[in-house]
Amino acid sequence: MSIQIKRIYEKQNSKDGKRLLVDRIWPRGISKQDANLDEWLKEVAPSPDLRKWFNHDPERYEQFKKKYKKELDNDEDKSKAIETIQKLENDGKVTLLYAAKDVEHNHANVLKEYLESK
C-alpha cells in the first residue's frame, strides 16, 4: 500500500504524493495555498454526530473505530470518496492529511486501516 497519513501542519515534502485532506472542517491557521492539496475529501470524514460524540477521547477510540468503519461501509458519499482515494493510490503514493492533535487516536488512522483492508 502506498497510503500514508500526516498532520496538515507538518511540512510538505516530495514523498507525499497526492495530498488529500480528509477532515470535514478546514484546519485552523492553514491557508488553501499553504495546504497545497490535490483534493479535499470532506465527505469521507466521520459524520458530525460521530465526530462530536468521539471528541478525541482515547477511551472512546475503539468504539469510535467500529462506528466510523460502519459509516464507511454504509454511506454512499463516503464510498465515492474511498473510490477516489483508491484510484489516486493506483497512480502512486497518497497522503491523507488531518488536523487533529492526537496522532494516535484520530479518524485518519482508522481510514488508512480501512483502506488497507480493501
pLDDT tens for the chain, 118 residues long, are 589 999 999 999 989 999 999 999 999 999 999 899 999 999 999 999 999 999 999 999 999 999 999 999 999 999 999 999 999 998 889 999 999 999 999 999 999 999 999 8
- Our CA angle for 24, 8, 108, nearest 5°, is 55
Annotated domain spans of the chain: 3-116
Alpha helices in the chain, H assignment, sequence order: 32-35, 48-54, 61-74, 76-90, 107-116
Residue with cell 461501509: 73
Measured CA to CA, the distance from residue 17 to residue 5 in angstroms comes to: 11
Q: Which residue has the cell 481510514?
A: 111
